[in-house]
Amino acid sequence: METPQSEIFHLSGPTFLTSVDWSNSYHRRSIAACLVQGVYVLEHDRQKQRQGPAGNAAPWWEFFDFKLTQVLVDEHDLSIFGAILEFKFPYHLQHNHPTQRPPQYAIAFRGTMTSPQNRSEDLKLDLHCVLNDLRKSTRIQNAIETVLEIVSRAGLGNVWLAGHSLGSSMALIIGRELAKNTGTHLETYLFNPPFISLPVEWIPSEKLKEGLRFANSVITAGLAMMVNGHHSQDSVQHHPFILLSSWVPYLFLNPFDPICCEYIGYFEHRVKMEAIGAGKIGKLATQHSIGSIVSGGRETDFEAIHLIPSAYLTVHSGTNAQGIREAHGIEQWWKQELEFKYNLYHYM
């Protein structure tokens, strides 16, 4: 079978980035996306037994002076779901002391693959993501242990996390765990991260859309108050959502991707709730989902792992002509000719 063009770096990758400016957000975004694509191709290489020069994965990181130091393998289907990539620090970067350096390590996670070798385990993890218990999976547990070891070796500020789709859920969970439990804030790139909700963002009527979101906020806030209204003010101040507020991951969203588009409305609605004087309801609702509250019952730990207090959003401003598959794809995030909108949301 012929190799798809999307797997071959010199045909599909950003080969024009021959001189990387690490302080340029577009360059950093493109490189992070390429590293994730490299993990997809690495798993395809494994399946097709392409080794050494016959493999297609290496150019996706070697072009940017990274080397592969470790692969993360799922113990159930033996698939490669992640990779540890180490920057080789060329001579000119070692001695010029740029203001913003590349990471010493980047840890990248692929998303769902539907080939026969991956389908069963990946779709099972997708279901766990929907059920809000992905962090209990052995894939996540192994990844967290690896990331902790890399961070202890490299030090703060020297490690990136990056993931796409299911892989972005993994990177989000790992970033959350480190920020919440250790105060470690890793630079995190989340491409098309799943938002566990109906895609209200797709509704064409702004009035109906805002009405649904307002009703959902009121119901969610009410349920949250019923479940944990007895907590002390001290426990509120130490709520995981508050502890996470200073961690600002990068989210890359396409409004025509039903998997991730609701993040756009999630953050915009919080601002609108403040504007109409319903900020307290909005802030309480933004910390919870109805599903997580119901599944958590009266336990204190019912976090919705896809909800985050702060983020820097990059939103694709294209049209829906591309189709859902392309809108959800990783390739769009290194394209040179596309236009994007940017917003920083910082939970106070």
What is the edge-to-edge ordering of all strands in the sheet holding 159-164?
Answer: 66-73, 80-87, 105-109, 159-164, 187-191, 250-253, 311-316, 340-345
pTM: 0.90
CB half-sphere exposure, 304, CA atoms < 13 A: 22
Query: What pLDDT is recorded for position 89?
Result: 79
Q: Mean pLDDT over all residues of the chain?
A: 86
- What are the residue boundaries of the structural domains of the chain, listed by start? 5-189, 200-316+332-345
> Token pair for residue 206?
């702004």
With 0-12 / 13-18 / 19 or more C-beta atoms within 10 angstroms meaning exposed / middle / buried, residue 342 is: exposed
Summarize pLDDT for 213-263 with one digit per residue, the tens: 878 778 877 777 776 654 444 444 556 788 888 999 999 999 999 999 999
pLDDT band at 163 (very low <50, low <70, confident <90, very high): very high
Query: What pLDDT is recorded for position 270?
Result: 86
* Distance between CA atoms of residues 71 and 283, nearest Å: 39
Summarize pLDDT for 182-191 with one digit per residue, the tens: 888 999 999 9
> Token pair for residue 81?
């779901």
3-state SS, residue 290: helix
Does residue 130 surpass a pLDDT of 50?
yes
Summarize pLDDT for 260-310 with one digit per residue, the tens: 999 999 999 888 888 888 778 777 777 776 666 555 543 444 678 888 999
Query: What pLDDT is recorded for position 22?
Result: 93
